[in-house]
Amino acid sequence: MSKPAVSFRTIKPKIKIAPSILGVDYGDLNHHLQQLEPFSDWFHVDVMDGNFVPNMSIGAMVVDKIKTTIPLDCHLMINYPEDYIEDFAKAGAYAITVHAEATKDLKLTIEKIHELGCKAGVSINPKTPVTKIEKVLSLVDLVLIMSVEPGFGGQKFMPEVLSKIEIIRKKYPELDISIDGGITHITAPLAREAGANVFVAGSYILKADNPKEAADKLREVVQ
């Protein structure tokens, strides 16, 4: 895997470890989340519609039932997210992240998320260039760079997306930049060097024999 040319190890935004809850036992959701709380900065909530991505997960009604003090970053992998963001805001989302490829008017959608009192995030798929979101980068609180094709956990990290993180970090030293897909103790440091500060991890934490040890390890390698 190639290393980025510039190191952004000294970036200001706080490091955050965000377990992706796609792999939790939804039948016992709150109990399972309670076990993850001590080592989680955010919970990353994957919302899939079977349309924007070839898989379905949970919607706002389930998010509404989550009882936790950990901020929920809802990653909406759905078409026309603007039609649903109010539901997620009411369900208690801390941040709502929408895909640039999925919305009719990205700027309006971001404004609507802010009006509803949530942090606004924008995400791009591995093949989508930064130019697609450059006009909204000064408006958002969070950028989520997909390092796998969205839709499923357990896929292989795509190092070719690292240069997108570098481009954004050079211009926005304070922005939360999140990396999502295939994050492990091997791939997270590469994203960290490129400038990411929020590390979403599904399988690496949830499928580990000891999720706390896995999360601690992740935190250690990106410090």
**CB nearer ligand DX5, residue 1 or residue 5:** 1
151 is an interface residue for ligand DX5 by CB under 6 A: yes
Judged by CB under 6 A, does residue 112 bind ligand DX5? Answer: no
Amino acid letter, residue 126: P
Nearest to 44 by CA among 220, 201, 222, 209: 201
Residues 7-26 that bind ligand DX5 (CB under 6 A): 20, 22
Q: Which of 25, 46, 209, 216 is catalytic?
A: 46
Figure out which of the listed residues 4, 81, 121, 182 binds ligand DX5, where binding follows CB under 6 A.
Answer: 182
- C-beta closer to ligand DX5: residue 111 or 128: 128
One of 44, 99, 112, 192 touching ligand DX5 (CB under 6 A): 44
Assess 45 for contact with ligand DX5 (CB under 6 A). Answer: no
| Binding-site partner at residue 11 among Zn ion, ligand DX5, none, CB < 5 to 8 Å by type | none
Contact partner at residue 148 from ligand DX5, Zn ion, none, CB < 5 to 8 Å by partner kind:
ligand DX5
Nearer residue to ligand DX5 within complex by CB, 74 or 140: 74
Residue 63, phi then psi, degrees to nearest 5: -55, -40
Task: Identify the residue whose tokens are 């519609």.
Answer: 49
Buried b (16+ CB within 10 A) or exposed e, 14-29: ebbbbbbbbbbeeeeb
If DSSP codes are grouped into helix, strand and coil, which group holds residue 99? strand
Catalytic residue among 28, 141, 180, 216, which?
Answer: 180
Question: Is 180 known to be catalytic?
Answer: yes
Residues 47-86 within binding reach of ligand DX5 (CB under 6 A): 75
Sequence-separated (6 or more) residues with CB below 8 Å from residue 204:
183, 184, 185, 214, 218
Residue 18 · residue 199 · CB < 8 Å: yes
Is 46 catalytic? The answer is yes
- Treating both helix axes as pointing N-terminal to C-terminal, what angle do 29-36 and 211-222 enclose, rounded to 10 degrees? 40
Residues 96, 119: contact at Cβ < 8 Å? yes
Positions in the binding site for ligand DX5 (CB under 6 A): 20, 22, 44, 46, 75, 148, 150-155, 180-183, 200-204
* Catalytic residue list: 46, 180
